[in-house]
Structure 1
Amino acid sequence: MSLAEPTPSTAERPSTTGSADRGTAPARRTRPFALLGSELALVFRRRRTWAMLGALAAVPILIAVAVRLTTGADSGGPAFLGDITNNGLFVAFTALTVSIPLFLPLTVGVVAGDTVAGEASHGTLRYLLVAPTGRVRFILVKTAGAIAFCLAATLLVVLVGAAIGAVLFRIGPVTLLSGTQVDGWSYAARALLLALYVTLSMLGLVAIGLFASTLTNVPVGAMAATVVLAGVSQVLDQLPQLDWLHPYLFSHLWLGFGDLLRDPISFDSFGSNALLQLGYLVVFGALAYGRFASKDILS
């Protein structure tokens, strides 16, 4: 008997690859949905997320209470604050208008800036990619989670605004910007369109935050950079000397939802905003993937 016995040839060995692949194929097909569900659970289970949603919900409540307490006084505030006293449904519109410049970008910047950097800082990034989870799928799932937060945040502001407005003020037909009156249900449908418009407006900021999150392992740095860029974009949009740049700023059409409050509804601003935000999503999404594809997940 020789010391080195011949090992079975490849043809003689029992094939286990085919059975393994057959057993894991269904799991791999369903994995993208499982990964998305895990990401959504991660985003909405965090105390930080609920704290930010609570702060956003407080915006329409504070507006409604402040207007209610000052009813009858000559406050000299904006005209749309006076409209709230005539119809409580205006609380939702007012809260969205107030939240867009600061509160929504702040919360979206926190969520988007934490997408990749948060996983890297906690040391879970390498395990997610070894699962195996492709880097393209990882980026797409993280983007979807941030967009889901945007939608939840805007819907929360609208729903809380309508609820507190109905409690503190009378509800009746709503006069649109075109001067036409619509009933409460018609206005509710338009309010949902407003929420979708605002969610769409945040897509560019989500993409920028995602890219910033791939540049560092420190989530706070990515969050701060995203929020600061949101402020810079709005400041640049107010400078008349840079009017040539305004149409390309991701914040340029954030408040351009007036067409949704006319009769008949015009979707011109909705379409223009969609093209602008999708452009940012494609460009900065590609940059995020390019940076993430070369990222050393073991460092």
Structure 2
Amino acid sequence: MSRPEPRAEPAAPAGPVRAAGGRGRAEPGPLARRPGPLWSLGLFRSELSVTFRRLRTLVLLAVLAGIPPLIGIAVRAETGDGGTAGGGGGEGPAFIGQITHNGLFLVFAALAATLPFFLPMTVGVVAGDSIAGEAGAGTLRYLLVAPAGRSRLLLAKFTAVLAFCLAATLTVALSALATGALLFPLGEVTLLSGTAVPLHEGLSRALAIAVAVAASLAGLAALGLFVSTLTDSGVAAMAATVGLLIAVQIVGAIPQLDAVHPYLFTHHWMSFADLLRDPVHWDGLLGNLALQGVYAAVFGSAAWARFTGRDMTV
């Protein structure tokens, strides 16, 4: 795993420092820097730059971009020039049955294929390394020199991880769209409810689905951020986050544990298919957003409590 990008140590606050009452206690002078706002666009841009300039991040995005062509080539090889792949309208792998009729369905099939593991694995790696990687490299303490820096830094890192969720999802969608346009015809889209819509509306629904899939990863992003505050080892944090993901997937696949399935952050992941119905079925989509919001609030608060109370010695 690559080490985090080196950061310059922040300069000391400008302005004089004077003693108070002759007792030796220093107080900031009139030019001293005061605590900044909780949200800082400059800090967010810095976190985005660090996240997307890492070789590991670029490799993960490249792997995601390579999955849709593999699916498209496999479907093309199976169907030949005029055949039809098996399957029909429905969720998950059943989208493959529609790809030969309309290449836009490769977007839906690729997202359905990558969402159970590949997409969340990349998010788990990035989120798990967000704090622990900086601590292990010794660069985290320099970021905390700024006044009120911990809450602001944590918020910037979480937002950067969410931006990666969207970037990873769009990478899969755009790669699938390009592959589908090259290998299969594009045209009017027949929705799962049987309604035919123009191509431009199908593209709009594909974009909405990509955003919905990215939002589905918010709970995992918060969980990974919390795990990242528990250790100074980026590798350990990444492994623990991915391990938790696998454990949740296993629990979700055991019928005898169906009582806890609605509380797992993976439970509504495939609800994005409801955006391909007319009218749209909102129950699953809204339930997914609510569940991801609960996970983000719970584990985001736990990460804040751990990070702001942590004795940073590295």
Q: Which has the larger radius of gyration?
A: 1
Q: Deviations over 1:19-66 (max 9, x none)?
A: x15xx56x9459811110000000011111111001001111111111
Length-normalised TM-score, structure 1 = 0.89
Residue 40 in 1 paired to residue 40 in 2? no
RMSD: 2.3
Amino acid at match of 1:48: R
Would you say the 8 A contact 2:124–2:241 is kept in 1?
A: yes
Determine the C-alpha separation between the residues in 2 that align with 1:224 and 1:183: 44
The equivalent residue for 2:14 is none
The aligned length equals 285
Would you say the 8 A contact 1:234–1:252 is kept in 2?
A: no
Determine the C-alpha separation between the residues in 2 that align with 1:197 and 1:76: 27
Among residues 185, 189, 195, which one is paired with 2:204 in the alignment? 189
Which ranges in structure 1 are unaligned for 5 or more consecutive residues? 1-7
The within-5 A match list for 1:7-46 is 17-18=29-30, 20-21=31-32, 24=33, 28=36, 32-46=40-54
Alpha-carbon offset, residue 267 of structure 1: 2.3
The equivalent residue for 1:177 is 192
SS in 1 for 2:100: helix
Determine the C-alpha separation between the residues in 2 that align with 1:200 and 1:269: 13
Residue 148 in 1 paired to residue 163 in 2? yes
Alpha-carbon offset, residue 242 of structure 1: 1.3
Alpha-carbon offset, residue 99 of structure 1: 0.3
SS in 1 for 2:144: helix
Would you say the 8 A contact 2:75–2:85 is kept in 1?
A: no
Alpha-carbon offset, residue 239 of structure 1: 1.6
Among residues 35, 56, 61, which one is paired with 1:53 in the alignment? 61
In structure 2, do the counterparts of structure 1 residues 79 and 203 end up closer, same or farther at CA, with 3 Å as the change threshold? Answer: closer
Alpha-carbon offset, residue 172 of structure 1: 1.1
Among residues 124, 149, 154, which one is paired with 1:134 in the alignment? 149
In structure 2, do the counterparts of structure 1 residues 9 and 108 end up closer, same or farther at CA, with 3 Å as the change threshold? Answer: closer
SS in 2 for 1:70: helix
Length-normalised TM-score, structure 2 = 0.85
The equivalent residue for 1:3 is none
Alpha-carbon offset, residue 294 of structure 1: 2.1
In structure 2, do the counterparts of structure 1 residues 93 and 31 end up closer, same or farther at CA, with 3 Å as the change threshold? Answer: closer
Which ranges in structure 2 are unaligned for 5 or more consecutive residues? 1-18, 22-26, 88-92
Determine the C-alpha separation between the residues in 2 that align with 1:200 and 1:9: 51
Higher helix fraction (1 or 2): 1
Query: Percent identity between the aligned chains?
Result: 51
